[in-house]
Structure 1
Amino acid sequence: MLFKKRHYDELAVKVIVDVSKRYKNISKHKRILAPEILESVYLLVNEVKINEDADEVFVISEFFNSLATDGKFPMFTCSCGVFGCGGFYIDVHHKRRIVTWITEQSTDKKHVFTSENIRFVAEELIRKLSEVNDLRIKNDMKANYDIQAFTSQLELFRSRR
Protein backbone atom coordinates (compact mmCIF):
# COMPACT_ATOMS: atom_id res chain seq x y z
CA MET A 1 0.00 0.00 0.00
CA LEU A 2 1.39 3.37 -1.02
CA PHE A 3 0.94 6.40 1.19
CA LYS A 4 0.20 9.67 -0.48
CA LYS A 5 2.44 12.52 0.64
CA ARG A 6 0.34 15.30 2.13
CA HIS A 7 0.34 18.60 0.25
CA TYR A 8 0.70 21.72 2.38
CA ASP A 9 -0.08 25.25 1.35
CA GLU A 10 2.77 27.77 1.26
CA LEU A 11 2.33 31.05 3.14
CA ALA A 12 4.53 34.01 2.22
CA VAL A 13 4.69 37.70 3.08
CA LYS A 14 5.43 40.63 0.81
CA VAL A 15 6.25 44.09 2.17
CA ILE A 16 6.42 47.05 -0.19
CA VAL A 17 7.86 50.31 1.15
CA ASP A 18 7.43 53.62 -0.65
CA VAL A 19 9.68 56.45 0.54
CA SER A 20 8.97 59.92 -0.79
CA LYS A 21 8.73 63.54 0.28
CA ARG A 22 5.64 65.69 0.39
CA TYR A 23 4.78 69.17 1.51
CA LYS A 24 3.13 69.45 4.95
CA ASN A 25 1.50 72.52 6.40
CA ILE A 26 3.16 73.50 9.67
CA SER A 27 1.21 76.72 10.01
CA LYS A 28 -1.41 78.65 8.10
CA HIS A 29 1.24 80.23 5.87
CA LYS A 30 4.20 77.87 5.97
CA ARG A 31 4.84 74.46 4.41
CA ILE A 32 7.86 72.19 4.62
CA LEU A 33 9.01 69.26 2.52
CA ALA A 34 8.81 66.25 4.85
CA PRO A 35 9.55 62.55 4.37
CA GLU A 36 6.63 60.20 3.87
CA ILE A 37 6.97 56.45 4.31
CA LEU A 38 4.11 54.21 3.26
CA GLU A 39 4.25 50.47 3.58
CA SER A 40 1.93 47.78 2.28
CA VAL A 41 1.97 44.27 3.68
CA TYR A 42 0.47 41.36 1.77
CA LEU A 43 0.01 37.70 2.64
CA LEU A 44 0.24 35.22 -0.19
CA VAL A 45 -0.96 31.63 -0.15
CA ASN A 46 0.58 29.54 -2.90
CA GLU A 47 1.75 32.80 -4.54
CA VAL A 48 -1.76 34.33 -4.62
CA LYS A 49 -2.85 37.21 -2.37
CA ILE A 50 -5.23 35.85 0.25
CA ASN A 51 -7.28 39.06 0.22
CA GLU A 52 -8.59 39.24 -3.30
CA ASP A 53 -10.27 42.61 -2.73
CA ALA A 54 -7.83 45.54 -2.95
CA ASP A 55 -9.78 47.38 -0.22
CA GLU A 56 -8.98 44.71 2.39
CA VAL A 57 -5.97 45.40 4.59
CA PHE A 58 -3.92 42.77 6.46
CA VAL A 59 -4.04 43.33 10.25
CA ILE A 60 -0.53 42.39 11.34
CA SER A 61 -1.25 42.34 15.08
CA GLU A 62 -4.05 39.79 14.54
CA PHE A 63 -1.68 37.52 12.63
CA PHE A 64 0.67 37.54 15.60
CA ASN A 65 -2.23 37.03 18.03
CA SER A 66 -3.23 33.95 16.02
CA LEU A 67 0.16 32.36 16.72
CA ALA A 68 -0.59 31.87 20.42
CA THR A 69 -4.04 30.31 20.35
CA ASP A 70 -6.85 28.84 18.26
CA GLY A 71 -9.81 31.01 17.33
CA LYS A 72 -11.35 33.43 14.86
CA PHE A 73 -9.17 36.44 14.16
CA PRO A 74 -10.17 39.60 12.25
CA MET A 75 -7.00 39.30 10.16
CA PHE A 76 -8.25 41.54 7.33
CA THR A 77 -10.16 44.79 7.63
CA CYS A 78 -11.50 47.41 5.27
CA SER A 79 -9.04 50.07 4.13
CA CYS A 80 -11.21 52.63 5.98
CA GLY A 81 -10.23 50.90 9.24
CA VAL A 82 -13.71 49.66 10.16
CA PHE A 83 -13.80 45.86 10.30
CA GLY A 84 -17.56 45.61 9.69
CA CYS A 85 -17.25 47.65 6.51
CA GLY A 86 -15.28 45.04 4.61
CA GLY A 87 -13.11 42.86 6.81
CA PHE A 88 -13.10 39.11 7.29
CA TYR A 89 -12.11 36.56 9.89
CA ILE A 90 -9.67 33.70 9.58
CA ASP A 91 -10.47 30.73 11.79
CA VAL A 92 -7.10 29.40 13.01
CA HIS A 93 -6.49 25.88 14.38
CA HIS A 94 -3.16 24.57 15.69
CA LYS A 95 -2.50 20.83 15.73
CA ARG A 96 0.91 19.31 16.32
CA ARG A 97 3.05 20.45 13.41
CA ILE A 98 0.34 22.04 11.28
CA VAL A 99 -1.73 25.23 11.34
CA THR A 100 -5.06 25.36 9.52
CA TRP A 101 -6.73 28.56 8.34
CA ILE A 102 -10.37 28.52 7.32
CA THR A 103 -11.84 31.55 5.55
CA GLU A 104 -14.87 32.36 3.46
CA GLN A 105 -13.05 35.03 1.45
CA SER A 106 -10.56 33.14 -0.67
CA THR A 107 -11.14 30.74 -3.54
CA ASP A 108 -9.80 27.90 -1.41
CA LYS A 109 -11.68 27.99 1.87
CA LYS A 110 -9.17 25.90 3.83
CA HIS A 111 -5.40 26.30 3.95
CA VAL A 112 -3.07 23.90 5.77
CA PHE A 113 0.43 25.14 6.58
CA THR A 114 3.34 23.56 8.36
CA SER A 115 4.23 25.20 11.66
CA GLU A 116 7.69 25.71 10.20
CA ASN A 117 6.21 27.78 7.35
CA ILE A 118 4.15 29.93 9.76
CA ARG A 119 7.24 30.46 11.96
CA PHE A 120 9.34 31.47 8.95
CA VAL A 121 6.72 33.99 7.77
CA ALA A 122 6.44 35.47 11.28
CA GLU A 123 10.23 35.83 11.52
CA GLU A 124 10.40 37.40 8.05
CA LEU A 125 7.60 39.80 8.93
CA ILE A 126 9.34 40.85 12.16
CA ARG A 127 12.59 41.43 10.26
CA LYS A 128 10.92 43.54 7.54
CA LEU A 129 8.79 45.56 9.97
CA SER A 130 11.89 46.24 12.09
CA GLU A 131 13.52 47.67 8.97
CA VAL A 132 10.46 49.88 8.37
CA ASN A 133 10.57 51.08 12.00
CA ASP A 134 14.29 51.86 11.66
CA LEU A 135 13.64 53.79 8.44
CA ARG A 136 10.87 55.80 10.09
CA ILE A 137 13.05 56.63 13.12
CA LYS A 138 15.95 57.61 10.85
CA ASN A 139 13.57 60.11 9.19
CA ASP A 140 12.42 61.55 12.56
CA MET A 141 9.10 59.73 12.42
CA LYS A 142 7.35 57.53 14.97
CA ALA A 143 7.83 53.74 14.71
CA ASN A 144 4.57 52.04 13.69
CA TYR A 145 5.12 48.47 14.88
CA ASP A 146 5.51 46.92 18.33
CA ILE A 147 8.26 44.47 17.42
CA GLN A 148 8.68 43.35 21.04
CA ALA A 149 5.00 42.29 21.25
CA PHE A 150 5.26 40.45 17.92
CA THR A 151 8.42 38.66 19.08
CA SER A 152 6.70 37.62 22.34
CA GLN A 153 3.80 36.09 20.38
CA LEU A 154 6.27 34.26 18.15
CA GLU A 155 8.04 32.88 21.23
CA LEU A 156 4.70 31.53 22.54
CA PHE A 157 4.16 29.85 19.18
CA ARG A 158 7.64 28.30 19.26
CA SER A 159 7.15 27.00 22.79
CA ARG A 160 3.97 25.12 21.75
CA ARG A 161 5.91 23.00 19.26
Structure 2
Amino acid sequence: MKSFLIKGKDNKQDLLSIEIEISSRNEYKNISKHKRVLMPVIKWCISLDINGHKLDKDEVFVEDVFFESLCYPGHYPMFTCTCGIFGCGGYYVDVVHDNEAMIWTTQQSPYEDKTIKSTNRFVFSWSDIIDFSEKLIQRLEELQSLMISNELEFRFDLEKYKDIIQEIKIKRIEDYNI
Protein backbone atom coordinates (compact mmCIF):
# COMPACT_ATOMS: atom_id res chain seq x y z
CA MET A 1 0.00 0.00 0.00
CA LYS A 2 1.39 3.37 -0.94
CA SER A 3 0.67 6.81 0.48
CA PHE A 4 1.68 9.98 -1.32
CA LEU A 5 1.58 13.49 0.02
CA ILE A 6 0.56 16.41 -2.16
CA LYS A 7 3.39 18.83 -2.91
CA GLY A 8 3.04 22.37 -1.59
CA LYS A 9 1.70 25.11 -3.85
CA ASP A 10 5.12 26.75 -4.19
CA ASN A 11 6.66 23.47 -5.46
CA LYS A 12 9.88 24.34 -3.62
CA GLN A 13 9.36 21.71 -1.00
CA ASP A 14 10.09 18.06 -1.33
CA LEU A 15 7.57 15.27 -1.04
CA LEU A 16 8.07 12.30 1.31
CA SER A 17 5.93 9.19 0.88
CA ILE A 18 5.82 5.70 2.35
CA GLU A 19 5.02 2.20 1.22
CA ILE A 20 4.74 -0.78 3.54
CA GLU A 21 4.66 -4.31 2.22
CA ILE A 22 3.39 -6.93 4.66
CA SER A 23 3.21 -10.66 4.10
CA SER A 24 2.24 -13.42 6.49
CA ARG A 25 2.45 -17.17 6.31
CA ASN A 26 2.94 -20.18 8.55
CA GLU A 27 6.28 -21.99 8.68
CA TYR A 28 7.52 -25.01 10.54
CA LYS A 29 10.12 -24.08 13.17
CA ASN A 30 12.34 -26.45 15.08
CA ILE A 31 11.74 -26.11 18.81
CA SER A 32 13.94 -29.09 19.65
CA LYS A 33 16.05 -31.63 17.84
CA HIS A 34 13.02 -33.82 17.12
CA LYS A 35 10.04 -31.49 17.31
CA ARG A 36 8.76 -28.93 14.83
CA VAL A 37 5.86 -26.55 15.28
CA LEU A 38 3.86 -24.61 12.71
CA MET A 39 4.26 -20.94 13.61
CA PRO A 40 3.11 -17.64 12.06
CA VAL A 41 5.75 -15.53 10.31
CA ILE A 42 5.12 -11.93 9.35
CA LYS A 43 7.57 -10.18 7.07
CA TRP A 44 7.31 -6.47 6.41
CA CYS A 45 9.31 -3.81 4.64
CA ILE A 46 9.00 -0.05 4.83
CA SER A 47 10.24 1.86 1.82
CA LEU A 48 10.32 5.60 1.27
CA ASP A 49 10.12 7.83 -1.77
CA ILE A 50 11.25 11.41 -2.05
CA ASN A 51 9.61 13.29 -4.91
CA GLY A 52 8.37 10.00 -6.37
CA HIS A 53 11.82 8.39 -6.47
CA LYS A 54 12.41 5.26 -4.41
CA LEU A 55 15.09 5.38 -1.77
CA ASP A 56 17.73 2.66 -1.83
CA LYS A 57 16.34 -0.64 -0.47
CA ASP A 58 19.76 -1.52 0.92
CA GLU A 59 19.30 1.31 3.42
CA VAL A 60 16.66 0.59 6.06
CA PHE A 61 14.64 3.50 7.46
CA VAL A 62 14.90 3.62 11.28
CA GLU A 63 11.49 4.75 12.54
CA ASP A 64 12.53 5.46 16.15
CA VAL A 65 15.29 7.76 14.95
CA PHE A 66 12.92 9.52 12.54
CA PHE A 67 10.47 10.34 15.35
CA GLU A 68 13.34 11.51 17.57
CA SER A 69 14.47 13.83 14.75
CA LEU A 70 11.04 15.46 14.78
CA CYS A 71 11.68 16.71 18.31
CA TYR A 72 15.20 18.07 17.96
CA PRO A 73 17.48 19.07 15.11
CA GLY A 74 20.74 17.14 14.89
CA HIS A 75 22.86 14.47 13.23
CA TYR A 76 20.83 11.22 13.09
CA PRO A 77 21.62 7.64 11.96
CA MET A 78 18.26 7.53 10.15
CA PHE A 79 19.14 4.79 7.64
CA THR A 80 20.97 1.57 8.46
CA CYS A 81 22.17 -1.47 6.54
CA THR A 82 19.73 -4.34 5.88
CA CYS A 83 21.81 -6.47 8.26
CA GLY A 84 20.84 -4.08 11.10
CA ILE A 85 24.36 -2.85 11.83
CA PHE A 86 24.66 0.88 11.18
CA GLY A 87 28.41 0.82 10.58
CA CYS A 88 28.02 -1.80 7.86
CA GLY A 89 26.19 0.45 5.46
CA GLY A 90 24.01 3.05 7.10
CA TYR A 91 24.25 6.80 6.79
CA TYR A 92 23.45 9.89 8.78
CA VAL A 93 20.92 12.58 8.02
CA ASP A 94 21.51 16.11 9.29
CA VAL A 95 18.15 17.48 10.40
CA VAL A 96 17.43 21.20 10.67
CA HIS A 97 14.18 22.69 11.93
CA ASP A 98 12.90 26.10 10.98
CA ASN A 99 9.48 27.70 11.34
CA GLU A 100 8.21 26.47 7.99
CA ALA A 101 10.04 23.25 7.29
CA MET A 102 12.19 20.33 8.33
CA ILE A 103 15.36 20.04 6.27
CA TRP A 104 17.30 16.82 5.66
CA THR A 105 20.84 16.80 4.36
CA THR A 106 22.06 13.29 3.58
CA GLN A 107 25.65 12.06 3.44
CA GLN A 108 25.05 10.37 0.11
CA SER A 109 22.42 10.15 -2.58
CA PRO A 110 19.55 8.27 -0.98
CA TYR A 111 17.97 7.13 -4.23
CA GLU A 112 17.87 3.57 -5.47
CA ASP A 113 18.48 4.87 -9.00
CA LYS A 114 21.97 6.39 -8.73
CA THR A 115 21.51 8.28 -12.02
CA ILE A 116 19.03 10.67 -10.37
CA LYS A 117 20.72 14.01 -9.78
CA SER A 118 20.36 15.05 -6.16
CA THR A 119 21.68 17.87 -4.03
CA ASN A 120 21.23 15.59 -0.99
CA ARG A 121 19.25 18.41 0.63
CA PHE A 122 15.52 17.96 1.06
CA VAL A 123 13.04 20.48 2.44
CA PHE A 124 9.77 19.08 3.83
CA SER A 125 6.99 21.36 5.08
CA TRP A 126 5.88 20.69 8.63
CA SER A 127 2.35 19.93 7.43
CA ASP A 128 3.74 17.28 5.05
CA ILE A 129 5.95 15.81 7.79
CA ILE A 130 2.93 15.61 10.10
CA ASP A 131 0.81 13.95 7.38
CA PHE A 132 3.64 11.52 6.56
CA SER A 133 4.12 10.69 10.25
CA GLU A 134 0.41 10.07 10.79
CA LYS A 135 0.31 7.76 7.75
CA LEU A 136 3.38 5.93 9.05
CA ILE A 137 1.72 5.46 12.44
CA GLN A 138 -1.48 4.24 10.77
CA ARG A 139 0.45 1.62 8.76
CA LEU A 140 2.35 0.55 11.88
CA GLU A 141 -0.98 0.16 13.71
CA GLU A 142 -2.12 -2.19 10.94
CA LEU A 143 1.11 -4.16 11.34
CA GLN A 144 0.67 -4.19 15.13
CA SER A 145 -2.85 -5.56 14.81
CA LEU A 146 -1.68 -8.37 12.52
CA MET A 147 1.25 -9.23 14.78
CA ILE A 148 -0.80 -9.23 17.97
CA SER A 149 -3.48 -11.40 16.36
CA ASN A 150 -0.69 -13.91 15.59
CA GLU A 151 0.73 -13.62 19.12
CA LEU A 152 3.95 -12.01 17.89
CA GLU A 153 5.91 -9.24 19.59
CA PHE A 154 5.54 -5.71 18.24
CA ARG A 155 8.51 -3.45 18.99
CA PHE A 156 7.34 0.05 18.08
CA ASP A 157 6.15 2.53 20.72
CA LEU A 158 3.16 3.94 18.83
CA GLU A 159 1.88 5.94 21.81
CA LYS A 160 5.22 7.74 22.04
CA TYR A 161 5.07 8.48 18.30
CA LYS A 162 1.53 9.85 18.63
CA ASP A 163 2.61 12.06 21.55
CA ILE A 164 5.46 13.47 19.45
CA ILE A 165 3.09 14.30 16.60
CA GLN A 166 0.64 15.92 19.02
CA GLU A 167 3.45 18.05 20.50
CA ILE A 168 4.51 19.16 17.01
CA LYS A 169 0.92 20.11 16.13
CA ILE A 170 0.62 22.15 19.33
CA LYS A 171 3.95 23.85 18.63
CA ARG A 172 2.88 24.67 15.07
CA ILE A 173 -0.35 26.24 16.38
CA GLU A 174 1.60 28.25 18.98
CA ASP A 175 4.08 29.44 16.34
CA TYR A 176 1.27 30.77 14.17
CA ASN A 177 -0.49 32.51 17.07
CA ILE A 178 2.56 34.50 18.10
Matched residue pairs, number?
155
Alpha-carbon distance between aligned partners in 2 of 1:102 and 1:42, rounded to the nearest angstrom:
19
Q: Deviations over 1:16-62 (max 9, x none)?
A: 10111111112211111211001111121011123x2x321110101
Query: Please, which of 68, 88, 94 is the counterpart of residue 65 of structure 1?
Result: 68
Q: Deviations over 1:68-113 (max 9, x none)?
A: 1111111001112111111111111111121111112223311111
Alignment match, 2:51: 46
Alignment match, 1:139: 150
Q: Deviations over 1:122-161 (max 9, x none)?
A: 0000011011011001011112211111112222222321
- CA RMSD in angstroms, aligned pairs only: 1.3
Q: 2:24 corresponds to which letter in structure 1? A: V
Alignment match, 1:25: 30
Alpha-carbon distance between aligned partners in 1 of 2:106 and 2:80, rounded to the nearest angstrom:
14
User: Secondary structure of the equivalent of 1:18?
Assistant: strand
Query: Please, which of 144, 148, 156 is the counterpart of residue 159 of structure 2?
Result: 148
User: Secondary structure of the equivalent of 1:148?
Assistant: helix
Which ranges of structure 2 fall in alignment gaps of 5 or more residues?
1-9, 110-117, 173-178
The alignment-based identity, stated in percent, is: 39
Q: 1:76 corresponds to which letter in structure 2? A: F
Q: 2:123 corresponds to which letter in structure 1? A: V
Runs of 4+ in 1 over 2 A off after TM superposition: none
Q: 1:71 corresponds to which letter in structure 2? A: G
Alignment match, 1:86: 89
